[in-house]
Structures are given as structure tokens and as C-alpha cells.
Amino acid sequence: MDIIEIFGYAGALFIGIVLGLIGGGGSILTVPILVYALSFNPVIATAYSLFVVGTTSLVGALKNMMKGKVDFKTALIFAVPAFTAVYLTRAYLIPVIPERFFEVNDFMVTKNLAIMLFFAIVMLLASITMIRNGNRQLNTEIVEKKSNHLLLVVQGFFIGIVTGMVGAGGGFLIIPALVLLAKLPMKKAVATSLFIIAINSLIGFLGDVQNYDIDWLFLLLFTSISVVGIFIGIWLNKFIDGKKLKKAFGWFVLLMGIYIIYKEISDQ
């Protein structure tokens, strides 16, 4: 095992620690770690990321369920179209994208490049949300208590496609939807989003199982390290205010997104 591989497994621990400290966002680093540190193909990396994201989110979701914080009715209204979209994207859309996507002035956009650039854009959007503390700014004192189920279904399907394309949970999109469309209080929205992310990611991963050979030994090891990191992060929360770290982590994700765009374009 070389130093880069060791860095990759250390990254798995870091993902979990961030999740334990700030409650979300850390999983967005899974794909870059798998691609750049462990040399996985972006398509396989996004597939493995779904399993890692789904499993780590499930740990948080189970904890919230025991505390009665998950709104199951809203979760199912949102999750059914979302996981349907994730599964269809992974099982049927990703496999039919041509390896040579399109060409612009002798610059070839390959399937792998398109996936990584789209992922980088999602990273930039997520980082802006974390930097601006966008979730805190959402008004949780809802005047109109009636939720908009139709818009919730539509947004669930859209977020499902994004999740399927990049292998990330999309919590920065799900939480605002649950607050603004489902009229959930912020704490319940955060708890419910973890449940939705777990369902979306794990069902989406099933779409990959039928198309690719999965290295289960590696995947379970990487995921286990990440889950251990969650408990370390939760323990560190006793000494460190995770919310104060969220903005700093947002800047880190922003820089990572910019780096991915630079690296992918410069390597072509």
C-alpha cells in the first residue's frame, strides 16, 4: 500500500469525522477521494459513493428515528420519486452515456470528464450553501402550514437525478425543500433529510450492482472506516462547536470544486 492509498483510507475517516462534527456535507468528498487518491473510474466512484453516503446517512437516520425526529409521511412523499429517479439514473441513464460525449473545437468531452465537471458544479453549489449558512437563514416559522405535495414530488425526482449522476446525498437541496415545501421545522427537516438520503443512495446503488462488478471487500472496509469516523466526530463535538466549522469546511469544498475543474480540464 503506497502513501496515496493510505491518504485515501485516511480520507474515509475524515469523511466520517466531518459528518459527525457538522451533521452533513462530508460525504461530498467521497468521490474526489475515490478518484484521485484511490484511482477509481468516476462512474465506479459515484457508485461506491452512493453506498458510502447511504450507509453513513443510515447511521444518523437511525439515531434520529429513535428520538422521534423523522417525519415519515413527508419522507415517503419525497423519497419515492427521488429513489425512483436515482435508480433509473444509475441503472439505465449512466450506462448509455457514450464514452466520447461530445467535442468542442478539438476539445473532447468524455463521459468521465462530464461526470467530474458536473460533480464539481454540485460541490460549488454545496460549498456556497455551507459558507452562507443558507440552512440557518431559512425561516422555520411557517405562516402557511399546508405543504405542497406536488412540488415536493417534482423536486424529489429532480434531486434524485442529481444524486444519481454525482453519487452525493444532496442534503443542501433536500433540506430547503423540506422546510419551504413540506413546512417542516428545521431540526425535523435535517433529521428527515438523512432518512431520505439513506433510502435514495442505497436504492440507487442497487442500480449499479446489476451493471458493474463491485469490490465488496474494499467497499465495506472504506465504509466501515467512515462510520468509525462518525462516532469520533460525535465525540469531538463535546469539545468543538461543529457549527462553527461548517463555514470553514464550506471554503474547503469550494477549493476542492475549483481544483477538480482545473485538473480535469488541464488533463485533457
pLDDT in tens, 184-205: 888 888 888 889 989 999 999 9
The CA distance from 164 to 202, in Å, is 11
**Other CB atoms within 10 Å distance of the CB of residue 104:** 7
Strand partners, 102: 109
Mean pLDDT of the chain: 86
What are the distances in angstroms from CA 15 to CA 9, 99, 100?
Answer: 10, 30, 32
Using one digit for the tens of pLDDT, what is the confidence trace for 119-151? 999 899 888 888 876 445 555 444 455 667 888
The whole-model pTM stands at 0.86
186-to-55, 175, 180 alpha-carbon distances in Å = 23, 8, 10
Would you say residue 232 has pLDDT above 50? Answer: yes
The predicted-structure confidence for 69-88, as pLDDT tens digits, reads as follows: 889 999 999 999 999 999 99
Question: What's the Cα-to-Cα distance from 21 to each of 8, 64, 217, rounded to whole Å?
Answer: 20, 16, 27
